[in-house]
Structure 1
């Protein structure tokens, strides 16, 4: 069972329940994948709300690997989710929320996101 206090989520993929978590290593993997210089740049990238199918594959793959599952992005790309693409988007949104928390109200209104760590 997923432990939300540790940033874990539970998700159905390919008819199976999986645990996902964005560990420090998984976040470093995503920094590389998205060519982000640091964690703040990664947060800003996600705050745009614009993710491609490839982006969702990378985030879900990193979350699965962060939880100790030996899966490749290619394997993730072949998986199915309840509700199709909307299901994948919901998994990514839930994982990012579990990792970074909810945005502050002013952030949700289109303002600049606050830095995750001081510059």
Structure 2
């Protein structure tokens, strides 16, 4: 009798913990070699190539078209601060030109969606 109760309790406990792990949300793995963050139920990846910093936007792993989106990207490295406008680029990219992204840089993207909703996303570059 005691053994049966213990087994039932063990099964219930294991079920509770496995459901929580399966339902856990969080940033997905980087697809473009950048830093991943989530905000406002959307996924964002910050990546750089040369003097262009790109913010990729997705909705639960599906690329989200950036037509009609805009924003501002601020980079903070020590006492240095640099800013640039984010401009929509096909298919799911927002680009800021004239910025250099290096390891340890903190970035804040203020993104205005096509429906005019504003989302703030914070990153720390790898």
TM-score normalised to structure 2 length: 0.30
Computing the radius of gyration over CA atoms, which structure comes out larger, 1 or 2? 2
Higher strand share: 2
Indicate the structure whose relative CO is greater, using CA pairs within 8 Å and at least 6 residues apart: 1
Structure with a larger share of its residues in helix:
1
What TM-score do the two structures reach when normalised by structure 1? 0.31
